[in-house]
Chains A and B, each alone.
Chain A
Amino acid sequence: RKEVEQDPGPFNVPEGATVAFNCTYSNSASQSFFWYRQDCRKEPKLLMSVYSSGNEDGRFTAQLNRASQYISLLIRDSKLSDSATYLCVVIRGGGADGLTFGKGTHLIIQP
């Protein structure tokens, strides 16, 4: 099993809809989780951290399920500008080599 796995998509979603996708991780010792957004041929940018109790930032909600070892990202009232690739990042330890990126989920919001 890969350390961090994401459904590559693409997810094709009509504007205004709600969309959610998950990221599973294999190492139960993982401690820290993030979602990044990457636009085509641009650098990944931090979207939000994922906290144990779940957290929300505007239309975006991130959740962590430690028992099933996955994190999720939910986008409500999706906008055309939400079209991007969403990468999850899992940090299993404090060392520089303890950080792993998923390969990303491609989201296309359709008008």
Chain B
Amino acid sequence: NAGVTQTPKFQVLKTGQSMTLQCAQDMNHNSMYWYRQDPGMGLRLIYYSASEGTTDKGEVPNGYNVSRLNKREFSLRLESAAPSQTSVYFCASHLGGYQPQHFGDGTRLSIL
């Protein structure tokens, strides 16, 4: 029972490089989310997807793009990585309504 799976778990990039963080869920949830969490800080919402085919900006979308490839998968892309994007990135899924979210175990990203 995998739940929410994120890849990769760790990544080091150089400034200006691009990469895509992958997220997949097997719970048939409708909504998916990308958060970042900096040391000692709360979760900040980057983008979310209420359903397949839709995406919306969250609190901190600048420097990121997302794709809701299908109901299972929601990817986050950094086109030109900057040191300020060094963070832990969490993907979450949500059945909808008043149900709780479920999180992946995170991607730890360092940008040099």
Task: Please encode chain B, from 44 to 59, with 1 for each CB lying within 8 Å of some chain A CB and 0 for all others.
Answer: 0000111100001000
The yes or no answer to B83 lying at the interface (CB within 8 A) is: no
Least CB distance, A97 to chain B, in whole angstroms: 7
Number of interface residues of A (CB under 8 A): 23
Partner of A99, one of B42, B51, B94, B103: B94
Partner of A44, one of B56, B99, B103: B103
The yes or no answer to A71 lying at the interface (CB within 8 A) is: no
A101 to B48, CA, bound (A): 14
Contacts of B100 in A (CB 8 A): 34, 36, 46, 49, 89
A96 to B48, CA, bound (A): 8
Contacts of A89 in B (CB 8 A): 100-101
A102 to B42, CA, bound (A): 7
Partner of B105, one of A32, A42, A91: A42
Contacts of A27 in B (CB 8 A): none
> Interface on A for B, CB 8 Å cutoff?
31-32, 34, 36, 41-46, 49, 87, 89, 91, 94-97, 99, 101-104
Of all A-B residue pairs in the complex, the 9 with the closest CB atoms, nearest first, are: A103-B42, A32-B98, A96-B50, A96-B31, A43-B103, A34-B100, A43-B105, A46-B100, A94-B97
